[in-house]
Chain A
């Protein structure tokens, strides 16, 4: 065991233990650590937004290079501050409207192509899809199962008609596929969460206490 002599490693370790102390019960150390995290993370973000975005993209071109056209984004950006002046607070809708408008406009063709058309192409029963499994003739069976599974799952989410008869049967099969999917997701989630714990312990036991390599 060789304790670290770096004061910052000690600070990081003590903060980590302060957060872990919440597992026993809520306490002032945890609260302080939690609030320090939020404050420091926001301070970090402000630094980079200023130095990496506002200064090179706005203030330098506008004030140092005299490119007066940049007054337009500057003025529109300033409108965000009207959030704090109730009388003219409606002006905040202008930059938000521009931002939202562009974003939703760009997303429509992107989502249709990537999340609908491509996914349909991957579901339908074609020789390319059979071959994509690299499983020989088993690929046909997997494609059929996938096709049936997608249709049944979609039928489960069709709520305009009561789930009786054929629709009832297909939606029940759809439920089975959804449950298997969620079970698989749960299995992976366990791995994910434990991995995060292992990562933290690697720091505490390795970098701080020097117990592990």
Chain B
């Protein structure tokens, strides 16, 4: 009984220490865990894969530093997928804080591709293969405005170039020339794309969301409003698995590396909950 009483009053800093150790050790001594791909991610993969050659894929990078660990691996995987398939890509952000992270993802992935490219055709060229549109506030402006004209909304791109002079933007005028939009976000933007862009212009929308907001987004996945859905780090790991399996893209799998510490952390938290409930039941019985 004394042990139960002690467990009930354990200092929270000991709990923090146990969690930290359980997460750090598998990172220092890594192991490989293969992930099983579930239907929502598979559907999104095929939706991206099937974007017609003459149409573009828009990726909305809406993750802040706070949600980057879950969503950044999704962004990397999507870009690798799109560039491998030579799909035209437009990148944008609905908020200012996300711009730097979007640029970081682009720079890294393009460097990966261009470092092994042998000809100009193989390379990923700005303005021809992709355009970083940047950011225009408030969010409702690009969401509604791109239905009429993308270059009217984004008159200059992130780097200050006039968008109507870029070769890619001469082919991609508005949502009619967009095959799919994937929104990577930790809050409401995927809902806004459905409510405004899909509702009014029939845009196909997919989403990569944080695990915290995942439970509400399954409602939109079930109705088909989302063409596919990635959830959290696990969803990112599944997408990484798919691009390696289907397209033989071998690159660092940041999300998959996180699965072992994630597993142990889940187990520890479950043990904490069980111990907490046992001590609660024992104390209730004592009374």
Q: For B196, give its contact among A41, A106, A212, A213 (CB under 8 Å).
A: A106
Q: Which residue of B lies closest to A212 (CB)?
A: B27
Q: Which residue of A lies closest to B64 (CB)?
A: A41
Q: For A205, give its contact among B24, B196, B262 (CB under 8 Å).
A: B24
Q: Which stretch, B84-92, B102-110, B214-222, touches the partner chain A?
A: B214-222
User: Is there an interface contact between B96 and A48, defined as CB atoms closer than 8 Å?
Assistant: yes
User: Is there an interface contact between A198 and B261, defined as CB atoms closer than 8 Å?
Assistant: yes
By a CB distance below 8 angstroms, the chain A residues around B194 are 114
Does B140 reach chain A (CB closer than 8 Å)?
yes
Does B210 reach chain A (CB closer than 8 Å)?
yes
By a CB distance below 8 angstroms, the chain A residues around B156 are 56
By a CB distance below 8 angstroms, the chain A residues around B276 are none
Residue-wise, chain B 224-238 has the 8 Å CB interface mask toward A (1 for contact) of 110000011110000
Does A109 reach chain B (CB closer than 8 Å)?
yes
Q: How far is the CA of A194 from the CA of B97 in the complex (A)?
A: 23
Q: For B212, give its contact among A132, A182, A188 (CB under 8 Å).
A: A188
Q: How far is the CA of A29 from the CA of B16 in the complex (A)?
A: 19
User: Is there an interface contact between B27 and A202, defined as CB atoms closer than 8 Å?
Assistant: yes
How many of chain A's residues have a CB under 8 angstroms from any CB in B? Answer: 51
Q: How far is the CA of A118 from the CA of B202 in the complex (A)?
A: 13
Chief secondary structure at chain A's binding surface = helix
User: Is there an interface contact between A122 and B222, defined as CB atoms closer than 8 Å?
Assistant: yes
Q: Given A53-B136, A211-B28, answer yes or no on A191-B261 (Cβ-Cβ < 8 Å).
A: no
User: Is there an interface contact between B214 and A212, defined as CB atoms closer than 8 Å?
Assistant: no
Q: How far is the CA of A193 from the CA of B8 in the complex (A)?
A: 24
Q: For A114, give its contact among B136, B144, B198, B212 (CB under 8 Å).
A: B198
User: Is there an interface contact between A194 and B262, defined as CB atoms closer than 8 Å?
Assistant: yes
Q: Given A132-B224, A190-B269, A212-B28, answer yes or no on A197-B96 (Cβ-Cβ < 8 Å).
A: no
User: Is there an interface contact between B28 and A198, defined as CB atoms closer than 8 Å?
Assistant: no
Q: For A24, give its contact among B13, B225, B233 (CB under 8 Å).
A: B13
Residue-wise, chain B 137-152 has the 8 Å CB interface mask toward A (1 for contact) of 1101000100000000
Does B179 reach chain A (CB closer than 8 Å)?
no
For residue A96, give the distance in angstroms from its CB to the closest CB of chain B: 13
How many of chain B's residues have a CB under 8 angstroms from any CB in A? Answer: 55
For residue B208, give the distance in angstroms from its CB to the closest CB of chain A: 13
Does B99 reach chain A (CB closer than 8 Å)?
yes
Q: How far is the CA of A29 from the CA of B225 in the complex (A)?
A: 47
Does A52 reach chain B (CB closer than 8 Å)?
yes
Q: How far is the CA of A106 from the CA of B155 in the complex (A)?
A: 23
Does A84 reach chain B (CB closer than 8 Å)?
no
User: Is there an interface contact between A122 and B223, defined as CB atoms closer than 8 Å?
Assistant: yes
User: Is there an interface contact between B232 and A195, defined as CB atoms closer than 8 Å?
Assistant: yes
Residue-wise, chain A 197-210 has the 8 Å CB interface mask toward B (1 for contact) of 11111100100000
User: Is there an interface contact between B23 and A194, defined as CB atoms closer than 8 Å?
Assistant: yes
Does B119 reach chain A (CB closer than 8 Å)?
no
Q: Given A195-B70, A196-B69, answer yes or no on A118-B223 (Cβ-Cβ < 8 Å).
A: yes
For residue A132, give the distance in angstroms from its CB to the closest CB of chain B: 7
Q: For B232, give its contact among A121, A132, A191, A197 (CB under 8 Å).
A: A191
Q: Given A115-B195, A191-B234, A201-B23, answer yes or no on A196-B70 (Cβ-Cβ < 8 Å).
A: yes
User: Is there an interface contact between B30 and A197, defined as CB atoms closer than 8 Å?
Assistant: no
By a CB distance below 8 angstroms, the chain B residues around A195 are 69-70, 211, 232-233, 258, 262
Q: How far is the CA of A211 from the CA of B27 in the complex (A)?
A: 9
Q: For A113, give its contact among B24, B30, B67, B199 (CB under 8 Å).
A: B199
Q: Which residue of B lies closest to A120 (CB)?
A: B223
User: Is there an interface contact between B223 and A121, defined as CB atoms closer than 8 Å?
Assistant: yes
By a CB distance below 8 angstroms, the chain B residues around A102 are 140
Which residues 186-206 in B have Cβ within 8 Å of A in the complex?
Answer: 191, 194-196, 198-200
Does B35 reach chain A (CB closer than 8 Å)?
no
Does B135 reach chain A (CB closer than 8 Å)?
yes
Identify 20 residue pairs between A and B in the complex whose beta-carbon atoms are under 8 Å apart, listed by A's number.
A106-B144, A118-B225, A132-B224, A182-B215, A185-B212, A188-B214, A188-B232, A189-B212, A192-B210, A192-B212, A194-B23, A195-B69, A195-B258, A196-B70, A197-B19, A197-B265, A198-B23, A198-B258, A199-B68, A201-B261
Q: Which B residues lie at the A interface, using CB under 8 A?
A: 13, 16, 19, 23-24, 27-28, 30, 39, 66-70, 96-97, 99, 134-138, 140, 144, 155-156, 191, 194-196, 198-200, 210-212, 214-215, 219, 222-225, 231-234, 254, 257-258, 261-262, 265-266, 269
Supplied contacts A106-B144, A188-B212, 10 more A-B pairs, CB within 8 Å: A23-B13, A23-B16, A109-B199, A110-B196, A113-B195, A114-B198, A188-B232, A192-B232, A198-B258, A198-B265
